[in-house]
Amino acid sequence: MIYNDLGLFTVVAHHLSFSKAADRLGIPLSRISRRIAMLEDHLGAKLFERTTRQVRLTEEGRRLLDRCQDPIEALQRVAGFTDDTRHHTIRITAPPLAARTTIGPKLVDFAEQNPQVQLELTTTNIMLDFFADNIDLAFRVGPLADSGLVAKRLWSVPYCFCAGQGFIREHGLSGPLTRPKFQTLPALMAGQPWVLETGETVNPAHIAHNIGDLDVIAQAARRNLGIAMLPKDMVEGDLRRLEVENTVPLTRDMYAVYPSRRLLPERVRKLIDFMAPR
């Protein structure tokens, strides 16, 4: 009986809805609720958080889904099921800038090549919680904090210092700058010090603006409002790179981050491999 209940559990988890699962399986809603309650009692763990408006997996529910979903999918294939039980969702989070420039286009390519997988992308600079926020995979720029999560490096993101052409002319910034001179210039910051490849941090004396979005920082730099530290591939058009003596920005890395290697669903593993440079 527990194996049947695990099958019911995966359908509810897929839809995050008891009523949709009941419609999908042609089973009364009351029976679905009762069987899931029996499964929770058997396992001694709450699998779903239920309110009048939504259903979400608990941490224990997420772990159980990761553990049992692939075997159940395999049984469905053996049984010849070809309906929407083979359509699965990958819930992803990524920084807004990366979603627009690097991550997003690759996700679209993956979706085109894997029509059986539905992608749900949340763009934010906030570190969402995998279990509380129901996330399968996160794309994050390092360095990463030490944690129990698994991180796979995908590619490097080199940074440089830059300014608008008008700003460079106004402040006479031709040629390499000394660090003392550099630190006196109006700076466009993203809420944290600039980190160098030596591990040092640079804290400009004059912070013109604190802006949390790199696209907006680039726009402000183009309007000659200050110096900035941006990914090199954003420095184009009216922006020019600045050389500063013994002051090289840290090259950061983009990572695919997920909770567990051992319980990683095949569709998520396939997406991670797809995102890695070839």
Mean pLDDT rounded to a whole number for the chain: 85
Q: What does the pLDDT look like over 42-52, one tens digit per residue?
A: 888 888 887 76
Q: What does the pLDDT look like over 116-164, one tens digit per residue?
A: 899 999 998 888 888 778 788 999 988 787 667 889 999 999 999 999 9
Which part of the chain is CATH 3.40.190.10?
Answer: 88-156+253-275
| Sequence-ordered strand ranges (E) for 95-149 | 117-123, 137-141
Residue 143: asked if its preceding bond is cis (omega within 30°), the reply is yes
Q: What share of the chain is helix, strand, coil (3-state, %, to 5)?
A: 40, 25, 35
Q: What does the pLDDT look like over 222-273, one tens digit per residue?
A: 999 999 999 999 999 999 999 999 999 999 999 999 887 655 778 888 999 9
Which part of the chain is CATH 3.40.190.290?
Answer: 159-249
pLDDT attached to residue 87: 58
pLDDT at 81 over 60: no
Q: How confident is the model at residue 212 (pLDDT cuts 50, 70, 90)?
A: confident
Q: Which fold has domain 88-156+253-275?
A: D-Maltodextrin-Binding Protein; domain 2 (3.40.190)
H or E segment to which residue 164 belongs: strand 159-164
pLDDT attached to residue 85: 41
CATH 3.40.190.290 fits 159-249, yes or no: yes
- Name the more confident of 115 and 64: 115
**3-class DSSP string for 56-100:** EECHHHHHHHHHHHHHHHHHHHHHCCCCHHHCEEEEEEECHHHHH
Write down the pTM of the prediction: 0.63
CATH 1.10.10.10 fits 2-86, yes or no: yes
Q: What does the pLDDT look like over 167-190, one tens digit per residue?
A: 999 999 988 999 999 999 999 998
* Alpha-carbon span 95 to 188, nearest angstrom: 19
pLDDT over 70 for what percent of the chain? 89
* Alpha-carbon span 244 to 236, nearest angstrom: 19
Which part of the chain is CATH 1.10.10.10?
Answer: 2-86
Q: What does the pLDDT look like over 215-233, one tens digit per residue?
A: 999 999 999 999 999 999 9
| End-to-end Cα spacing for the chain | 45
What does each C-alpha distance from 237 to 136, 221, 243 come to in angstroms? Answer: 37, 11, 18
H or E segment to which residue 47 belongs: none
